[in-house]
C-alpha cells in the first residue's frame, strides 16, 4: 500500500489506530482489520528498529488486533447471519472505544481553540491588592481586658527570670527519623505547609527536615508547591495509595 509510517509520537494506541484509519481513508465502521493490524505492527517494529521503548499499552492493543483478526478469519458457518446481527462483529467493541476516544480528542482540539481565543482577554493586572485579600477581623482580640494582658506579661517575666535549665540534651536527628516523622505529619493530609513541618524546630532540625522533604520528593511521595516567590510552600502527598495499603 506504500503507507509511510508517521514518526510522530502518538498519545497512545487509539491515537495511532485513528491516524492509520484517517491515512488510509477507511470507514471506521468497516475497518479492514488484517490490513490495519499489519500497519500497526509495522509501526511498532519501526519503533523497535530505532531502539525506542514501546509502551505496554501498544502491545496490548497489538494482541487485541490479532485476536480480532483471528476471529474474523474463522470460517463463518452461517454467512447470512453476519449481516443481520451486527453486534456479533468482533470489531464492534474496538470501534466503540475508538469513537469514544476520538470524541474526546476532538474536544481537546475545541478546548485548545478556546484557549487560544481567550488569551487575548486580559484581566485586571493588580489582582492581589491589599483591599481584596486582607481579612476582616470582627473579633480583634476577643474579650481580653487590659489588666489580663498586663497579668500575662508579668507572669511571662517571672517565668523568664527563673533560672535557665542546667543541662540541655543535645539531640541528633537523623534524616531517616525525620523522614518517618514527616510521613506521619502528612498522613491523611491533602496539603501541609512547609512552615507547619518546621514548627518548634531547632536550626539543625530544620536542616534535617528540609533534607527529608527533598528525599520524599525524590522518592515521588510528595510534591512541593510554591505559588509565588517567597510565598508559602505547600507540601502535598502524591499518592494516597499508601493510605489504602496501610
Partner 1 sequence: MTLKEAEIIIEALIFAAERPISCKDIGDLLELKQSTVEALIEKIRERHGEGALMIRSVAGGYQFVTKPELAPWIEKMGRPVISAPLTLASTETLAIIAYEQPVTKAQIEEIRGVRSDSALNNLLERGLICELGRKDGPGRPILYGVTEKFLLHFGLRSLDELPPISIRSAK
Q: Rule CB under 8 A: which of 17-76 touch partner 1? A: 28-29, 55, 57, 61
Q: Is 82 in the site for partner 1 (CB under 8 A)?
A: no
Q: How far is the CB of 74 from partner 1 (least distance, A)?
A: 26
Strand partners, 234: 193, 225
Interacting positions 212-231 with partner 1 (CB under 8 A): 223, 225
Which residues 6+ apart lie within 8 Å of 227 measured at CB? Answer: 234
Which position among 2, 75, 80, 125 is part of the footprint of partner 1 (CB under 8 A)? Answer: 125
Tell which one of 34, 219, 240, 242 touches partner 1 (CB under 8 A).
240
Q: How many CA atoms lie within 13 Å of 244's alpha carbon, on the beta-carbon side?
A: 3
Give the one residue of 81, 108, 180, 242 binding partner 1; rule: CB under 8 A. 108
Q: Does position 232 bind partner 1 by CB under 8 A? A: no
Query: Which segment (33-41, 72-80, 83-91, 156-164) binds partner 1 by CB under 8 A?
Result: 156-164
What's the CA gap between 118 and 207, in Å, rounded? 44
Specify the long-range contacts of residues 220-224, CB closer than 8 Å, at least 24 apart: 221/183, 222/186, 224/194
Among 51, 77, 143, 163, which residue sits at the site for partner 1 (rule: CB under 8 A)?
Answer: 143
**With CB under 8 A as the contact rule, which of the stretches 31-39, 80-88, 133-141, 181-189 interacts with partner 1?**
133-141
Residues shown for the chain: 246
Nearer to partner 1, 98 or 212 (CB): 98
- The residue within the footprint of partner 1, chosen from 11, 42, 88, 177 (CB under 8 A), is 11
List helix spans (H) across 162-246.
175-186, 194-198, 203-218, 241-245
Residues 6+ apart with CB under 8 A from 98: 14, 17, 18, 21, 28
Question: Which of 31/213 has CB closer to partner 1?
Answer: 31
DSSP assignment, residue 52?
Answer: P
Report which of 48, 37, 57, 43 is spatially closest to residue 8, judged by C-alpha positions.
43
CB of 77 to partner 1, least distance (A): 30
Q: How far is the CB of 135 from partner 1 (least distance, A)?
A: 5
Amino acid at each position: 500500500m506504500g503507507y509511510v509510517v508517521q514518526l510522530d509520537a502518538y498519545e497512545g494506541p487509539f491515537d495511532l489506530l485513528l491516524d492509520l484509519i484517517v491515512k488510509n481513508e477507511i470507514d471506521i465502521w468497516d475497518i479492514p482489520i488484517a490490513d490495519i493490524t499489519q500497519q500497526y505492527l509495522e509501526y511498532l517494529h519501526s519503533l523497535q528498529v530505532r531502539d525506542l521503548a514501546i509502551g505496554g499499552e501498544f502491545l496490548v492493543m497489538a494482541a487485541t488486533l490479532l485476536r480480532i483478526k483471528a476471529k474474523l478469519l474463522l470460517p463463518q458457518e452461517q454467512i447470512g447471519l453476519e449481516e443481520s446481527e451486527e453486534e456479533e462483529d468482533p470489531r464492534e467493541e474496538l470501534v466503540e472505544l475508538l469513537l469514544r476516544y476520538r470524541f474526546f480528542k476532538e474536544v481537546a482540539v475545541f478546548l485548545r481553540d478556546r484557549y487560544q481565543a481567550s488569551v487575548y482577554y486580559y484581566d485586571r493586572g493588580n489582582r492581589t491588592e491589599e483591599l481584596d485579600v486582607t481579612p476582616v477581623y470582627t473579633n480583634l482580640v476577643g474579650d481580653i481586658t487590659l489588666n489580663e494582658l498586663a497579668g500575662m506579661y508579668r507572669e511571662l517575666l517571672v517565668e523568664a527570670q527563673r533560672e535557665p535549665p542546667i543541662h540541655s540534651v543535645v539531640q541528633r536527628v537523623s534524616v531517616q527519623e525525620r523522614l518517618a516523622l514527616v510521613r506521619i505529619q502528612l498522613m491523611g493530609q491533602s496539603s501541609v505547609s512547609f512552615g507547619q513541618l518546621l514548627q518548634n524546630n531547632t536550626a539543625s532540625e530544620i536542616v534535617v527536615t528540609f533534607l527529608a522533604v527533598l528525599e520524599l520528593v525524590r522518592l515521588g511521595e510528595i510534591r512541593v508547591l510554591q505559588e509565588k516567590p517567597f510565598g508559602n510552600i505547600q507540601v502535598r502527598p502524591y499518592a494516597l495509595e499508601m493510605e489504602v495499603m496501610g
